[in-house]
Amino acid sequence: MISFAGLAPDVAQAMCTPMHLILPASASASSPSTPSTSTSSPPTPATGALYLGAVTAVLDPSLLAEHHIQHLVQVLDVPWLPAPPPGLTAYRMDILDLESVDLRPHLDGAVADIDAALRAGRNVLVHCQQGVSRSPAVVIAYLIRKRGMGYEAAAALVRQRRPCVKPNAGFVRCLKEWGAATQATAQAQAQATAQAQAAGYAPPVRGAARPTARTREVLSH
């Protein structure tokens, strides 16, 4: 049983809240200047919204429908995971919430899956058992790689949205090491590209001073 003794009110309330919005959906290129021709369905966003929460959110179909969740990233180690509701897809990660667990081998695939779903305009819910350690670690990894944030900034943003977030110490260590490696790879590629452009081997792309997030993802594998 979860104990709320000694917890700040906002932390306790967050633990009782099934899910929180981390990143809102971005508007499509035609919105809002181009009005929708249909009143029954909203226009497809350019990118979907990213949510973080607990397994209780998955057990509430009305909550998922209210927030238009279309894809789940499930970070759990239990065999009784409920099947995704009709119309939803899922990416599952079998991870224990232990400091000894090396999170790094799981992050590339999870981040790529989240990114693909969001780019397709789908709302994504990343969840674990309580939405405190495992799933927040995955969301932080997404922000590090795809939003170019450092660990501290990414963790602060996620904690601001869901105050109960507290990845275990082992996950924090893995995220910092993985983030540093990701940043080093991106910087090395940017330097190599700049040198190639200066030598006349790779003409610069207008309006692009550095590799895109997608380029960094491909090069880091």
Query: Is 107 within 8 Å of 138 (Cβ atoms)?
Result: yes
Which residues are CB-contacts of 69 (< 8 A; sequence separation ≥ 6)? 51, 88, 123, 124, 125
Residues 132 and 75: their CA atoms lie apart, in Å, by: 11
If phi over 0 gives left and psi between -120 and 50 gives alpha, with beta otherwise, what is residue 163? Answer: alpha
For residue 37, CA distances in Å to 32, 34, 186 come to: 12, 9, 42
Q: Cα–Cα distance between 138 and 110 in angstroms, integer?
A: 7
CA–CA–CA angle 39, 51, 10 (5° rounding): 115
Q: Which of 16, 128, 164, 174 is flagged as catalytic? A: 128
Please report the beta strands in the chain, taking only residues with DSSP state E, as ranges in sequence order: 19-23, 50-54, 69-76, 89-94, 123-128
Active site residue 128: yes
Active site residues: 128
